[in-house]
Every structure is written in structure tokens, then in C-alpha cells.
Amino acid sequence: MSFGSAVHFIGSFILMAALILTIVINISAPVANQKSLSFTTLSLTTGNNAWFGVFGYCWEVDSVFQCTKAKIGYDAADIMKTIAQPTNSWSWETETGLKALSVALIMHPIGSGVTFIAFLLSLPEGTCVSIMATLVSLLAAGVNICALVIDAVMFKSLEKAIKDAEVGFSKYGVTYYLSLAVAIASAIAFILMLFTCCAGRRERRNAERKVGDNVSY
């Protein structure tokens, strides 16, 4: 196995790992119905808690654990009002912004799909396939990084809302760190795919040059 092929194999493996992590992210609360799988955890002074995921959220009131049905977009401000019981209501901009961000979390399943395609294209070796794998890997990295940014912005929005109301605190959940790992892995995979694509073309040019020299000789 040549050095270029070895690097290509590593890139494919990293894409597979990123794909598995994106699947775990997509089954975060409320799909998995688990407190541990969420990108934001709210711990409130009322003793209640909430966990936000990609397709919804879970909450705990008086030791009773419940989750919403999985769907695209949800009203994070509404459940915070219910379980946090703030003395001051949140602004319309805050509520609308949280709703929009929850819809934007659709970037996670989109990232899974693009990463899956990039992984499939990375399996065979060849000029055309290698170029396609590199381009799709770039797209996957872009989508996954965008999803990470959305996670961070939504967390900061939730954190600010809770802080302004003085009803508790928020912290990053496991899913957020998985999202960070996916973004980094996708970027590394793209760099490796780009390297193998360029190295492969260089090797073919050298081989063609040697053949030409032999024919001339």
C-alpha cells in the first residue's frame, strides 16, 4: 500500500467515525429519551431541569421526567417559562430567535447525509471518484461546522435568557462536544482527501512521464 493510499484510508475511517457521531447527535433528546444526550442542560433554581436536543427537548418537574415528540423546530422559551417560572417575561426577539435556531438544527441530519455520501465516495480509488470525494468532504465539513456554530449560538441564547431571568444556569451537554468532534473530524477528513487527490494526480503524471521516457528511449 502506497503512502497516498494509506492516507486515503485514514481519511475514509475518519469520515466513518464522523458519520457515526452525527447519528448519535441526531438521536439526542427527545429521540433517545435520555438526559445524557443533549447539547444544552438547564439547571434551575426551582429544582426543575431541561435538556435540549436536535428534534425537541426533555424536562423534569417534581422528579417527573417527560419529553416532547420529535419534530423540526420547537418552542424553547415556552418550556423555560413553565419550569423556570421567571418573574420577568423574555422579549419577543429572544423567543423568536430561539424558535429559529431550533429549526436551524436541521443542519445536523443534513450533515449526516452529506457525510454519508462523502464516506461512500471515499471508499473506491480513482481520479474522478477522488475528486468527487474531496468536494463532498468539503461540503460535509462546511455543513457540520455550520451545525456546530448553530449549537453554540443557541446555547448562548439560552444561557443569556436564563441569566437575565436569574432563575438558574446552563451548561454544555455531551451532544455539543460530539458536534465539536464531528466538525473537527470532517475538516481533517477533507484535508486528507485533498492531499490524496493531489498526490494521486502527481503520481499518475510521474508514471506517464516515465512511460513517455521509456518509449522515447
- Per-residue HEC secondary structure of the chain comes to CCHHHHHHHHHHHHHHHHHHHHHHHHCCCCCCCCCCCCCEEEEECCCCEEEECCCCEEEEECCEEEECCCCCCCCHHHHHHHHHCCCCCCCHHHHHHHHHHHHHCCHHHHHHHHHHHHHHHHCCCCHHHHHHHHHHHHHHHHHHHHHHHHHHHHHHHHHHHHHHHCCEEEEECHHHHHHHHHHHHHHHHHHHHHHHHHHHHHHHHHHHHHHHHHHHC
In this prediction, residue 159 carries a pLDDT of 87
* Tens of pLDDT, residues 3-51: 767 888 899 999 999 999 999 999 988 887 666 667 778 777 777 888 9
Average pLDDT, the chain: 84
pTM of this prediction?
0.85
| pLDDT exceeds cutoff 60 at 83 | yes
Walk me through the domains of the chain, giving residue ranges and CATH numbers: 3-216 (1.20.140.150)
List pLDDT tens digits, range 140-178.
999 999 999 999 999 998 888 888 777 788 888 899 999
